[in-house]
Amino acid sequence: MSKVVYLNGSFVDYAEAVVPVEDRGFVFADGVYEVIRFYGGKPFAAEEHLARLRRSAEAIKLDGLPSTQELMEAALETVDRNGCVNATLYLQVTRGPAPRKHEFPASEVPVTVFMIAREVPRPDAERVNRGVACITVPDIRWHRCDIKSIALLPNVLAKQQAAEAGAAEAIFVRDGIVTEGGSSNFFMVRGECLFTHPADEHILAGITRDYVLSLARKLQIEVREETFGMSEVENADEVFITSTGIEVLPVTTIDGKPVGNGVPGPVTKRLWQAFDDSISKL
């Protein structure tokens, strides 16, 4: 349990942190967010996360964010005040409190900035070695998935459907094209080539996704950012998913059918090892 949260420039006891009932994040999901991973108390790719936060804010015309330096200092102190070592820091910015009206507030309203840190262990080694099951679901989300919006109801429903099916993740399929997971990016390996959906409006280009792509290129693994359908996935040799929380996680079954030979493959293992090595050097 987090003891202290950051709220609008102050550090507040968890039980005493409140926001106005008409905050636009509450009534309209009018806001954006990021999740930053900490290993051994050190942030991983924090600058990239904060840059994406600013891009998301600009995309929804959300002004008034604190500077990147202010956000970074607040994030570090939030983690430190909670005594976190291996943790995630959730950072949310909304358009702030104003009488409920769809249009932006007519007068200037200060944004609401909220951060909370929780101790989160690294993914279980046995789970990584065994791989996980996924299911596919229709991608019913809006057409700006590249914005890290707090409006996540379709993702919530997909993740719940996966949980009820005993699966680790729901994989979105839009018009026959595999896009990404409910809270992850999706990768397929065929032969020695790594495939993933291009970073367009149909996916959120994950920070871990980009990092894994850079690792793949360093390992001289061919990378193709292009669209593909489920028929290609069904013939894949390997599949894995990535995110800030799960890192690099092999997928061994999709909709009850085995991926490849049903065990984590060599390309996935190489990329996981390269990612693990990077973490150890922080």
What is the Cα–Cα distance from 193 to 180, expressed in whole angstroms? 18
Half-sphere exposure of 259 (CA within 13 A, CB side): 29
Q: How many helices (H) and strands (E) does the chain have?
A: 8, 15
Q: Nearest 5°: phi and psi at 146?
A: -70, -15
What is the Cα–Cα distance from 240 to 51, expressed in whole angstroms? 26
DSSP label at 65? P
Q: Rounded to 10 degrees, what is the CA torsion of 66, 70, 74, 75?
A: 90
Residues acting as catalytic residues: 148
CA proximity to 179, closest of 156, 207, 145 = 145
